[in-house]
Amino acid sequence: MTDSQMTSVPESLPETMHADQAVDAALRAELARGDMALSTLTPVLTHFLNTQDRSLFSDSIIARVRGMLRSASYRLLRVEADEIGANDVFAYAEARADALGEELARHAAFLGHCHALAIEWQLADRLRGRNGIDPILSPLLQSLIVSEDAELADAAMGTLAAQARFIEQQKRMEMPLAELPEDQFANFISVWRRQRDDLSEDLATTVETRIRQMRAENEARLSLLDRTVARLDKRADVALSLTHAGAAVFLTALAHGAGQERDIVVVSTNDRQLVRFGLSLRAAGLNPAETRAQLRCLHPDATMPAMIEKVATSDARALLESSPFGHAE
């Protein structure tokens, strides 16, 4: 499948087809092409060292995903080493981290989450270099921190601190266990238990309980972002601007507004997913001009597919719901 096949919109449709039906059919066809590309992400990423696709899988993305897999593995194994009383917990974790990381790489959901985080960091870094958008303190976040709404200000302040940590963690290719969403943490624990089946059930439970206690000490970045956007409530449309909200808040607001999983929204910022990204913007309530502006901010040389301008908000949401990917629960 070529790039043009994945991002082009059919130039003509049957003359007998009603205009609204034509728009729907064209967008469904394009979304299906994008879905086909999404369906190959995990198997290709699993073998990322052999893939020649350097749009979704640049050398930077590959290194960052590998680093996060190993970082998460190492952190868990240090707790395991401490619980079994290893003489050198660091050496114990180092000796086993690669093997656990390789097992994690075979878990589609966990791998996909790490991939999305790597893309998000790359996007934030690109927007800083090209548009001067601070990856930590955006104009919106700056205004929310001093909001008279105490709960909103608290969530925004927490988001600021968490975003600063995220940028530094990504530079070091780290994946703190406290930052994993609950479903991904459960996936991680499941993989670890299978890979370390020589551990007793009591020891495995003790390790998991200890890590869960550590996770409970601080609210994760994605949770803080969710809380910030949710607190905006009917004003959440102010977060649907990359230059005003910054990448992290924008991606969260778009996921909320379009009813999509955040990881899929992140992946849709790639230039091979213009239709999905455009539909998400329309589903979130942006008009055609606003949608075009966000597309150009991401991809200055890209042209918004003409059919995106003609689709209504409700129809855009229905089209996304017809896709097997990205439905928020």
Q: What is the pLDDT of residues 216-230, one digit of tens each?
A: 999 999 999 999 999
| Residue-level pLDDT at 302 | 86
Measure the CA–CA gap between 114 and 262, rounded to whole angstroms: 12
Sign (positive or negative) of CA dihedral 304, 320, 105, 187: positive
Model confidence, pTM = 0.83
Measure the CA–CA gap between 165 and 154, rounded to whole angstroms: 17
- 217: DSSP letter: T
Please give the structure tokens belonging to residue 125.
Answer: 């870094």
Closest by CA position to 298, among listed 171, 131, 115, 113: 131
pLDDT digits (tens, 9 = 90+) for 173-214: 999 999 999 999 999 999 999 998 889 999 999 999 999 999
Element (H, E) at 248: helix 242-258
Least confident residue range of 5-9, 140-144, 172-176, 181-185: 5-9
161 versus 32: the higher-pLDDT residue is 161
